């Protein structure tokens, strides 16, 4: 009998994995599409992503965490670039995102200016407080305020001569209260509904820079959002003894705004969260995963390794200490035991226009899916 059931179990596991990857690919394609425009601050990108996730939560069979709406609304300031984004240096027109980005605290500027060299990589026009900085890699971000300067970060590979003149036309706008929403759902436990395992991932990214350029954010963090949705569908179809809460946070790229807001105004009591798993950048995995907070929770980390050693899901699980580098942080600060998991290896695209769904391998997506289910099952045992 065992010889019959074991191959059947393996076959079923393979089917689950095969079904997860097409669904994950579909989620990645949607979240990284031009329609959602980088899930950020222009062209209603983040709002459209929130609507998509609400619909996915509802279709999966999740319940709103509180009331009748999956949204938890909040706001924060953001400096955005919705319009003109034109830079020409020494007569060569540069391509936004590919040849240059704008430092996110920059102000609007339109002018033709001469540049003075400050050092080997920095050029400026003091009267207009314009800075041109040459960089090996263009890595964009989000700023909550506008400065009294404009900084253009230029790829070293885009210029063949020393910058001497610049034509710049940049439109910036400060939004004092950008409207955002955490998307929060729940699968109630069959035996212990007041004990909760929480699974989180941020769905926001950097949005767009100008009218033509957006940052897809496939690995960061459409990948974590896709894995969260896969787990949400699984637990909605297979309710666990304990409740499973799912939160897609907004505002992570702007400084963990969504998770900070949730911990200050929680929709469920924080002391009922037995453990939290946050997933951010999980689209690779050739070199295993890293677990932030591993040193804070050695018992749970040992359990995770034990399960992985038994099933050989991942090549390696690397421990890391406490870090304020994703949405687990404010939960940790409020006494909620939590892991933050990210994969290692594969593509190096990060906060740039090259973090695309088409080049994201999802190497260990299915294995991580099964590892987390096994880990959650072990955590939910009364003796654990």
pLDDT digits (tens, 9 = 90+) for 109-121: 999 999 999 999 9
Q: Where in the chain is the domain with CATH 3.40.630.10?
A: 2-78+176-379
Asked if 256 and 263 touch (Cβ cutoff 8 Å), the reply is no
Rounded distance between C-alpha atoms, residue 50 and residue 384, angstroms: 35
Rounded distance between C-alpha atoms, residue 174 and residue 79, angstroms: 4
pLDDT for 383: 53
pLDDT for 20: 73
Helix (H, G, I), strand (E, B) or coil at 214: strand
Asked if 257 and 76 touch (Cβ cutoff 8 Å), the reply is yes
Residue 339: which H helix or E strand, with range?
strand 338-343
Closest CA to 248 of 280, 296, 284: 280
pTM of the predicted structure, to 2 decimals: 0.94
DSSP β-bridge partners for residue 92? 89
pLDDT for 380: 87
Rounded distance between C-alpha atoms, residue 293 and residue 325, angstroms: 11
Residue owning tokens 């339109």: 110
Rounded distance between C-alpha atoms, residue 342 and residue 352, angstroms: 18
Instruction: Indicate the DSSP class of residue 213.
Output: -
pLDDT for 135: 98
Asked if 219 and 281 touch (Cβ cutoff 8 Å), the reply is yes
Asked if 338 and 258 touch (Cβ cutoff 8 Å), the reply is no
Q: Is 279 exposed, middle or buried (0-12, 13-18, 19+ CB in 10 A)?
A: buried
pLDDT digits (tens, 9 = 90+) for 137-159: 999 999 999 999 999 999 999 99
Instruction: Indicate the DSSP class of residue 219.
Output: I
pLDDT digits (tens, 9 = 90+) for 213-235: 999 999 999 999 999 999 999 99
CATH class entry, domain 2-78+176-379:
alpha beta
Closest CA to 95 of 168, 158, 169: 158
Residues 6+ apart with CB under 8 A from 336: 198, 270, 273, 276
What are the residue ranges in the chain where pLDDT is below 50?
1-19, 384
Instruction: Indicate the DSSP class of residue 1.
Output: -
pLDDT for 381: 84
pLDDT for 8: 35
């Amino acid at each position: 009998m065992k010889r019959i059931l074991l191959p059947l179990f393996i076959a079923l596991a393979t089917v689950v994995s095969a079904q997860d990857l097409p669904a994950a690919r579909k989620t990645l394609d949607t979240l990284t599409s031009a329609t959602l425009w980088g899930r950020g601050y222009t062209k209603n990108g983040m709002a459209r992503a929130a609507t998509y996730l609400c619909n996915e939560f509802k279709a999966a069979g999740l319940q709103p965490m509180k009331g009748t709406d999956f949204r938890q609304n909040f706001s924060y300031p953001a400096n955005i670039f919705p319009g003109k984004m034109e830079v020409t240096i020494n007569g060569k027109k540069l391509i936004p995102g590919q040849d240059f980005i704008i430092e996110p605290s920059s102000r609007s500027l339109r002018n033709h200016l001469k540049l003075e060299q400050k050092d080997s990589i920095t050029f400026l026009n003091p009267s207009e407080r314009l800075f041109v900085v040459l960089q090996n890699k263009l890595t964009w971000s989000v700023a909550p305020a506008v400065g009294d300067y404009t900084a253009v970060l230029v790829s070293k590979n885009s210029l063949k001569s020393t910058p001497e003149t610049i034509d710049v036309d940049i439109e910036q706008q400060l939004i004092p209260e950008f409207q955002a929403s955490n998307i929060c759902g729940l699968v109630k436990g069959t035996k212990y509904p007041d004990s909760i395992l929480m699974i989180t991932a941020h769905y926001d990214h950097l949005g767009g820079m100008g009218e033509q350029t957006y940052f897809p954010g496939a690995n960061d963090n459409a990948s974590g959002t896709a894995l969260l949705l896969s787990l949400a569908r699984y637990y909605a179809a297979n309710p666990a003894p304990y409740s499973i809460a799912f939160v897609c946070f907004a505002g992570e790229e702007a400084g963990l705004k969504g998770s900070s807001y949730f911990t200050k105004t929680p929709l469920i009591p924080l002391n009922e969260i037995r453990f939290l798993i946050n997933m951010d950048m999980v689209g690779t995995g050739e070199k295993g995963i890293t677990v932030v907070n591993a040193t804070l929770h050695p018992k749970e980390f040992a359990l995770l390794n034990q399960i992985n050693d038994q099933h050989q899901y991942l090549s390696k699980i690397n421990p890391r200490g406490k870090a304020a580098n994703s949405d687990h942080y404010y939960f940790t600060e409020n006494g909620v035991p939590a892991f933050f998991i990210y994969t290692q290896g594969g593509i190096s695209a990060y906060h740039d226009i090259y973090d695309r769904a088409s080049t994201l391998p999802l190497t260990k997506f299915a294995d991580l899916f099964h590892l987390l289910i096994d880990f959650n099952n072990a955590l939910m045992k009364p003796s654990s």
